[in-house]
Amino acid sequence: MSVQTCRQRLKCFTEKHGEIWKFIKWVLFTGIGASGIELVAHMLLLNFVFDSLKTVPITNEALNFIGIKSVGYLYAFFISTAIGYSIAFVLNRKLTFKADSNAAVSATYAIILVIFNIFACAWIGSALSNIVLAKQWNSWGDALVKVVTMTIPSVWIYPANRFIIHRVKKKPANGKPAQIE
């Protein structure tokens, strides 16, 4: 099959199945791309940069409630999450959904989603981390927990990105941009 034929088939598929193509791009760019960078950053921060802080306990009741009990994990989690979500926001806005809505409003919605997601993932991650600690799975267990806590929220993250955060302005029925009066 020639390169031209592959391009034609891809173009035909993307035109016919636009929503499926958006989901595929979201999985590839955000799921694999941004999440992969987030995972690498998390593991480097946790095991090298903040390794000495993994034994320093956190006494904040709110953080303990969601299961964050070590200063090293707290720093690694929040920094890697900020990196991952920042990359995901840009990739989703520019490549996946090609949003043209107000960027400040989109960023505000994204921040609200990130705050919710951080607490949800911290709670899920800490519950799983307790299992990893009990089983003594060490770094491999930490990586597994991070992958799981990055995957589960896809249930609510994709719809929020697609329908709330990265919207495209509706075009008039004639397909031409609206005239400013």
Going residue by residue through the chain, which has 181 residues, state the pLDDT in tens, using 9 for 90 and above. 788 888 899 889 989 999 999 999 999 988 889 989 999 999 999 999 999 999 999 999 888 876 678 999 999 988 998 899 899 999 999 999 999 999 999 999 999 998 898 788 878 887 887 788 788 877 788 788 878 887 888 889 999 999 999 999 876 566 555 444 3
Q: How far apart are CA 85 and CA 105, in angstroms?
A: 16
Domain boundary assignment for the chain: 14-165
Instruction: Judge whether 128 and 17 are in contact, CB under 8 Å.
Output: no
- Output the pTM of the full model: 0.75
Instruction: Judge whether 115 and 66 are in contact, CB under 8 Å.
Output: no
Q: How far apart are CA 139 and CA 106, in angstroms?
A: 36
Instruction: Judge whether 159 and 179 are in contact, CB under 8 Å.
Output: no
